[in-house]
Structure 1
């Protein structure tokens, strides 16, 4: 008498794939060597969903002595972000808790600014963009 073969229901196969994928995700968005098959694609999707992504506001242009207010945006990661910026124009600062860049632009010239957000797990994301401050011939006319 032949023993009928048992097929694994789709739900059980999905649970096995999810368990395998969660086993390869380590740290704040790092993936160890992913397994082949459905678990590999799932691990990549889990990693992409947890990556910290800072929105790029594009090139900024202001006149010297303009008041500036630029809210940076972030997606992904674990909430509880800390913000930092490198090479902001003179007179501008970034609020480390909110990501708001503000102040009065004082130094004329063009800079390449990099803004970084660090999430609660230590994962980071950044955006780099140009910022031009133009010297106005008559700033108070």
Structure 2
């Protein structure tokens, strides 16, 4: 073989060797970067979701207990609710809505959860309280 044919192969072999060296050196850093990106994507994708309990109907002066639930996010959760019927409250630690319904009417209740990472989610549902025609019969 002539040396003219060997000369072009040496730069190609050198380039392949250099590329292999760069990949081997950057491999752990690249893998760590990809792992961090995957972790951030998983955290973003795992925002909390509040389960909707559906429409609620009670009579006036009923004792109520409605447990709200959430999935995803980072525990512990903090719960809040707006537009609850008079006499009912939500436990900020457990998400339990309880109390005695006073008054009557239909309300749109919004329940919000905030996870430990600060992500929030909410759901809304209607809650109808019917005035009993004969509360002491």
Q: Please indicate the TM-score interval, normalised by the length of the shorter structure.
A: 0.7 to 0.9
Q: Which runs of 4+ in 1 moved over 3 A?
A: 11-16, 19-22
Q: Does 1:48 align with 2:45?
A: yes
TM-score w.r.t. length of structure 2: 0.74
Q: Distance in 2 between matches of 1:92 and 1:19?
A: 44
C-alpha separation between the residues in 2 aligned to 1:57 and 1:140?
30
Higher helix share: 2
Separation in 2, partners of 1:112, 1:81: 22
Task: Confirm whether residue 83 of structure 1 aligns to residue 79 of structure 2.
Answer: yes
Partner of 1:58: 54
Partner of 2:6: none
Relative to the length of structure 1, the TM-score reads 0.72
Higher Rg: 2
Where in structure 2 are the equivalents of 1:1-141 lying within 5 Å? 1=10, 2-3=12-13, 4=16, 6=20, 16-22=33-39, 25=40, 43=41, 45-49=42-46, 51-141=47-137
Q: CA RMSD in A?
A: 2.4
Please state how far the C-alpha of 1:121 moved relative to its aligned partner: 2.3
Unaligned runs of 5+ in 1: 26-42
- Unaligned ranges ≥5, structure 2: 1-9
